[in-house]
Amino acid sequence: MRIFNFRTRSTIKCPRCLGKRFVDWDDIRRLNRQLKWVPAPCAYCDATGRVPKEILSKVAVDCMYLTIDLPESTIEKIKEGDPETVEKGKQREVFVDHLIAFAEHHFLTQNLDAENIANLYLNTEAEKANFAVTKEELIKYIQGVIDLKKSELN
């Protein structure tokens, strides 16, 4: 069991939410997490707006995996640097990065729509993926990738 006394620790304004306690689209764009996060209470500072200085050397501000929708015990493990949890987070980011690259590639080179890309992904890549996704989730996600790419191209 750990006993914290925040008053005696030096804290700084949370670099993820800039002290607002909430991660909004501006923060998401600033940290380049557009396809990875949605606006939500800040998990980095636990929606308090401030963090102990030490956290900066333990968890990256833009650590994709650290979001408020995770169970509290997992959030604790990430912040403690638990190797198994950190590895799981890395694998998840690899999975998402691969999916984004796959979707962008097929949109840009073959102009496929989200549903066709989802079908292709499920037929060729799904077995290699460590994370199960439903077709509906996949189509929605890929549509987001395409929309972002279109907005970048315009």
Q: How far is the CB of 147 from Zn ion (least distance, A)?
A: 27
Interface positions with Zn ion (CB under 5 A): 14, 16-17, 42, 44-45
Our CB check for Zn ion shows the closer of 32 and 151 to be 32
Our CB check for Zn ion shows the closer of 14 and 63 to be 14
Our CB check for Zn ion shows the closer of 45 and 100 to be 45
Q: How far is the CB of 75 from Zn ion (least distance, A)?
A: 12
Number of H helices, E strands in the chain: 6, 4
Return d(Cα 74, Cα 18) in angstroms, integer. 23
Q: How far is the CB of 152 from Zn ion (least distance, A)?
A: 27
Burial code of 67-105, b = ≥16 C-beta within 10 A, e = fewer?
bbebeeebbebbbeeeeebbebbeeeeebbeebbebbbe
